[in-house]
């Protein structure tokens, strides 16, 4: 578990005027770059599209974790894969044919992820857990960065981790929303191993140091959780 801890800075909180420079500045410390794609329909904000992904692909070799917060995501899988996505995550709430959409992502040779909004129950994705590389649990209502974590959403992380163990499945559990040095421990103890952090990283005086703080806190919490489980 500890060697699987990953920090994924979200460029939603970066300075878009110097985006490539912002990405290069954390390239040696982050594990992947989280890219939030919003269409103003599924969520009340509009961010970026394939041309930006294609352009910043030139700035780093880090994996691109593309999170599609858009309606009809199945129509855009190919274009984001072509632009340089290494992982594509779609929302259970937005995909009319979730199984087919995930199959389409896998056929493109990129990692397939499924996301849940805070109000969506885990049962909405149980039927596709066997075919995903990652489950993304939103711990804020999607659309804007800088929000406080909805702590109750971590109950879903625990439930998903339990389902994975019970069914012998292996996938990353990613948490997105309100991640900082005070909240990442609870997310790690719940069972998450990938942590999306936007404003905490890019709003820091030293983003590289901020990533290190997050990683250390997540590892400490995961180690503590492992010791507790071994004692039970």
Q: Is 3 a residue whose pLDDT tops 60? A: no
Please choose, from the candidates 131, 152, 172, 153, the residue with its C-alpha nearest in 3D space to the C-alpha of residue 34: 172
Q: Is 224 a residue whose pLDDT tops 60? A: yes
What does the pLDDT look like over 154-180, one tens digit per residue?
999 999 999 999 999 999 999 999 999
Q: Is 223 a residue whose pLDDT tops 60? A: yes
Token couple for 97: 């044919």
Percent of the chain whose predicted confidence (pLDDT) is above 70: 96
Percent of the chain whose predicted confidence (pLDDT) is above 90: 87
Q: What is the predicted pLDDT for the residue at 147?
A: 82
SS3 call for 24: helix
Does the annotation mark 65 as catalytic?
no
Q: What is the predicted pLDDT for the residue at 144?
A: 73
Q: What is the predicted pLDDT for the residue at 225?
A: 75
Across the chain, what does the average pLDDT equal?
A: 94
Hey, what domains does the chain have and what are their CATH numbers?
A: 2-231 (3.20.20.70)
Q: Is 98 a residue whose pLDDT tops 60? A: yes
Angle 59-60-61 (CA atoms, 0-180°, nearest 5)? Answer: 145
What mean pLDDT comes out for the span 184-193? 97
SS3 call for 161: helix
The strand pairing partners of 88, in sequence order, are 66, 112
- Supply the DSSP symbol for 114: E
Please choose, from the candidates 110, 57, 118, the residue with its C-alpha nearest in 3D space to the C-alpha of residue 91: 118
The strand pairing partners of 175, in sequence order, are 137, 195
Q: Is 232 a residue whose pLDDT tops 60? A: no
Does the annotation mark 172 as catalytic?
no
Q: Which of 1-5, 135-139, 216-220 bottoms out in mean pLDDT, i.e. has the lowest?
A: 1-5
Q: In Å, what is the CA distance from 130 to each residue of 35, 56, 96?
A: 24, 32, 19
Backbone angles phi, psi at 170, to 5 degrees: -130, 115
Q: Which of 29, 65, 133, 176 is catalytic?
A: 176
Q: Is 28 a residue whose pLDDT tops 80? A: yes
Q: Which of 29, 36, 39, 65 is catalytic?
A: 36
What's the full length of the chain, in residues? 232
Q: What is the predicted pLDDT for the residue at 230?
A: 63
Asked if 181 and 219 count as a contact pair (C-beta separation under 8 A), the reply is no
Q: What is the predicted pLDDT for the residue at 76?
A: 97
């Amino acid at each position: 578990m500890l060697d699987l801890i990953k920090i994924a800075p979200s460029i939603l909180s970066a300075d878009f005027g110097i985006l490539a420079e912002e990405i290069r500045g954390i390239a040696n410390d982050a594990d992947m770059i989280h890219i939030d794609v919003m269409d103003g329909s599924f969520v009340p904000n509009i961010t970026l599209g394939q041309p930006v992904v294609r352009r910043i692909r030139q700035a780093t070799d880090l994996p691109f974790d593309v999170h599609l917060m858009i309606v009809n995501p199945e129509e855009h899988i190919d274009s984001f894969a072509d632009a340089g996505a290494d992982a594509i995550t779609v929302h259970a709430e937005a995909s009319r044919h979730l199984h087919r959409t995930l199959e389409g992502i896998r056929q493109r040779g990129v990692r397939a992820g499924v996301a849940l909004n805070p109000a969506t129950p885990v049962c909405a994705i149980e039927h596709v857990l066997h075919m995903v590389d990652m489950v993304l649990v939103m711990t804020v209502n999607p659309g804007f960065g800088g929000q406080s974590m909805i702590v109750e959403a971590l109950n879903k992380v625990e439930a998903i981790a339990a389902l994975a163990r019970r069914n012998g499945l292996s996938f990353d559990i990613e948490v997105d929303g309100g991640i900082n040095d005070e909240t990442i421990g609870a997310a790690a103890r719940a069972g998450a191993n990938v942590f999306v952090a936007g404003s905490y990283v890019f709003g820091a005086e030293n983003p590289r140091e901020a990533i290190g703080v997050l990683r250390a806190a997540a590892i400490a919490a995961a180690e503590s959780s492992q010791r507790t489980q071994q004692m039970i």
